[in-house]
Structure 1
């Protein structure tokens, strides 16, 4: 890893700005014995401003750093984004940050006591595993944590639904729908072995069993889904397609995420592994890993850029990762997960940007109090399922 890159990561880490991917890079770099000399140099430079230099112990600091990285993963935080400082200025103050950080000063992470107005509130719980299964005859079955369901073709333990392996020479297609409400999530394994994680407020249409030798096609009617596709080599070359409004994604065997909510004007397709071709009207574009295609539904213009995929797919692993997201965007994500309505009394705060990671099992009041502590909102009110930000 280039020295400038790791120096940037160290600066971001010490100021609690590093994301999950950067924490991984830093941990690997620190543990590599070949980087010992450079690591010592960084720490010695940063400790040079400390009058107590004689007590310097690089190995001890290294151990502490690894401990803090581990803790950083456990204690997820949301930070307000301020104007990015020039690198030179950051380098000057990094010594101060290092000294105070390893002395366990809570300069950046201390929590300020705050009392918020909470009126007539029922406890707002985080989302959980739940969905509605619609069978080919139109009948519906509620799937929820703690209950077991068995159909002719699938079984569910309330946290996931598994379809039986494909039966050969299938000639007719019967479709099922899996609908995830606000405040829900669910996992499904299709009959070809493809795995799909569905986010809150999403719906997937799919065959109970695919036709042998033909393209395996499903439809993300709306919402967000993460796909791990069973390779075509295991299905006599049959490609896998995901249809949704305005585009078609064709894959051979890969992992990708599609975000296509009904109330949003963009569709985001993010590739994690493999390769996909995306057809939009009469044009076709392909993605390579760590790229995202953004389709603007108003203009029908699509753009491709490289991204940190963790920020896009972390939701399936129990966290929300935000990189320079506005408060409005963050509250949109949280409103789906907590099944709440969010009202901004002060429209000017909608554009305030944050970075950080939130656990999906966090209490909504804890999150709102954290935002309030930054001074972005003066107060908040929770009334049943409505959150009002002032």
Structure 2
């Protein structure tokens, strides 16, 4: 019998459909192989034979299986190895004890942040209880920093404070680690939603003729209206000026393009010597690689999906998608092949374990291998 016929008989044996005639053929073949096996295989030959057999037989193997039997207990010849293989898939529980190593799940991020006060003191916000007073700022402690019942940082300015005084040193910084997000209400009532691996520096109260904050990373702003005091967001050479509006800024250091997406109102984008006005539904793209500020229509829901607890991809390239996962799950991504033409549309929830998110992405015929906190991507 040739190899194809033998494998066909083995498949029938596994399914329990082997006829008496075929069983006689299989027994005869097995006895012939056993009687003609008069040599011992070396450890390396044995391993090669085992791997070859495993690839040919119709067996179902769990990934990362560790056998408790030592190698010396494995058959010392290819005939006995074949015999063991036949027995393996008919009576696995009686012959082999297996321990299956289940890959450790990588959990999603959550509400995590660090507040740095004007005196340099750092406060881990996970250690603060809701409704607690975090600190007081100003020479006369005219600003109270609290955490409200929803875990949002709020700044409450004493109404009797001298608003004409400009305390240049009274700045705070809110930062988020990998897998962290945090919300804050500034002293003027502006709401800021800070994404992972981001930071925002701001004054504890807005004195003077403008409201200026500095951003690294990504944040969504709901700016309190004040026609007499424009609100400005500065990120490197890029600046955004508004009076009262809702917009998202994506300005990560490891991203080549700074993206500002407008949902409501109007904003002015300034970059070097250029200026552009955005309308709702538009996004500006700024980069050292561009000659001018690029403006395009976008799906605003995709731009702020992170704020609403979702990953949403609108024709996003694979590396952009994986950078989001790196920041949220604290993973490292490696690529084994060209993935430049892979695009994604759709999404999923950010509260899922990484394995569930990768299953969604695999629908686009991309394969992932998880090795600890490293994700290997295969096109």
TM-score (norm 2): 0.66
Query: Which of 153, 161, 169 pairs up with 2:164?
Result: 169
Cα distance change, pair 210–266 in 1 and its aligned pair in 2 (3 A)? same
Q: Distance in 1 between matches of 2:360 and 2:306?
A: 20
Q: Which residue of 2 aligns with 1:335?
A: 326
Matched, 1:380 2:369: yes
Matched, 1:228 2:222: yes
Aligned ranges 1:131-210 → 2 under 5 Å: 131-144=113-126, 147-148=129-130, 150-152=134-136, 153-156=144-147, 159-165=151-157, 167=161, 168-173=163-168, 174-210=170-206
Cα distance change, pair 343–119 in 1 and its aligned pair in 2 (3 A)? farther
Q: Distance in 1 between matches of 2:204 and 2:282?
A: 31
Cα distance change, pair 334–145 in 1 and its aligned pair in 2 (3 A)? farther
- C-alpha deviation, 1:306, in angstroms: 1.2
Q: Which residue of 2 aligns with 1:214?
A: 209
Matched, 1:348 2:338: yes
Aligned ranges 1:1-390 → 2 under 5 Å: 121-144=103-126, 147-148=129-130, 150-152=134-136, 153-156=144-147, 159-165=151-157, 167=161, 168-173=163-168, 174-211=170-207, 213-220=208-215, 222-233=216-227, 237-299=228-290, 301-345=292-336, 347-377=337-367, 379-383=368-372, 385-390=373-378
Q: Which residue of 2 aligns with 1:70?
A: none
- C-alpha deviation, 1:145, in angstroms: 7.6
Structure 2 contact 274–293 (Cα < 8 Å) conserved: no
Q: Distance in 2 between matches of 1:281 and 1:374?
A: 39
Higher-Rg member (1/2): 2
Q: Distance in 2 between matches of 1:266 and 1:119?
A: 41
Q: Distance in 2 between matches of 1:258 and 1:386?
A: 28
- C-alpha deviation, 1:389, in angstroms: 2.5
Gaps of 5+ in 2: 1-61, 65-99, 137-143
- C-alpha deviation, 1:353, in angstroms: 1.3
Cα distance change, pair 169–360 in 1 and its aligned pair in 2 (3 A)? same
Q: Distance in 1 between matches of 2:332 and 2:129?
A: 28
Q: Distance in 2 between matches of 1:370 and 1:313?
A: 20
TM-score (norm 1): 0.64
Q: Which residue of 2 aligns with 1:30?
A: none
Cα distance change, pair 142–225 in 1 and its aligned pair in 2 (3 A)? same
Q: Distance in 2 between matches of 1:328 and 1:199?
A: 18
Cα deviations across residues 294-321 of structure 1 (Å, max 9, x unaligned)? 0022345321111111110111011111
- Per the alignment, in what secondary structure is the counterpart of residue 366 of structure 2? coil
Q: Which residue of 2 aligns with 1:81?
A: none
Cα deviations across residues 329-368 of structure 1 (Å, max 9, x unaligned)? 11111111111111122x2235311210210111211122
- C-alpha deviation, 1:180, in angstroms: 0.8
Gaps of 5+ in 1: 1-114
Q: Distance in 2 between matches of 1:241 and 1:264?
A: 22
Cα distance change, pair 146–122 in 1 and its aligned pair in 2 (3 A)? farther
- C-alpha deviation, 1:370, in angstroms: 3.3
Cα distance change, pair 339–198 in 1 and its aligned pair in 2 (3 A)? same
Cα distance change, pair 364–281 in 1 and its aligned pair in 2 (3 A)? same
Q: Distance in 2 between matches of 1:254 and 1:151?
A: 29
Structure 2 contact 299–314 (Cα < 8 Å) conserved: no
- C-alpha deviation, 1:144, in angstroms: 2.1
